[in-house]
Structure 1
C-alpha cells in the first residue's frame, strides 16, 4: 500500500501519490485545491490508474505523519527540509 505491490501499481502507491501531492504544494493550498490539482496533473502526465479521494486523504495522512506537510489556517503547507544542513 505504501510502496508498490502486485495489486497496487507504482503510480498509485501512497509514496508516489504523496510525492505528486507535494509537487502541487508550491504554495499553500486548500485540501480541495490540492485534490483538484492532483487529479489534473495525473491526467496531464498520463497516470490513468484511479486515485479516489479516500486514497488522496491516506496519502495526506502519510505525509503528515512523515512531517512533510502541515495544515495552517485551513491550508496545506509543504514543509521544506534540508537534510544536507546537518540539522537532523
Structure 2
C-alpha cells in the first residue's frame, strides 16, 4: 500500500498520493487548506488516505510543520 505493486498502481499507492500532495504544496498551507485543494483529486480518495500520505511524507522528511502550517523541506 505504501509502494506500488503488481496490483496497486503508482497513483493509488501512498507514495503516489504523497507526490500529488507535494505537487499542490507550493506554499505553506494549513492541513484543512491542503485537504480542500486535494479532496477532488481521484487518487487521494478520502481524508484517511490524505492523512496517511501526509504522515509518510513527514516520516521521510519531505514536509514539516512550522507555526501550524505544512511546508516542504529543502531537499
TM-score range, shorter chain: 0.7 to 0.9
- The list of structure 1 runs, each at least 4 consecutive aligned residues, that deviate by more than 2 angstroms after superposition, is none
Q: 1:22 to 1:4 in 2, by over 3 A?
A: same
TM-score by length of 2: 0.86
CA root-mean-square deviation: 1.5
Q: Which runs of 5+ in 2 are unaligned?
A: none
Alignment length (residue pairs): 74
Higher Rg of the two aligned structures: 1
Alignment of 1:22-33 (within 5 A): 22-33=22-33
Give the Cα separation in 1 of the matches to 2:44 and 2:68.
Answer: 26
TM-score by length of 1: 0.75
Indicate whether 1:21 and 2:15 are aligned: no
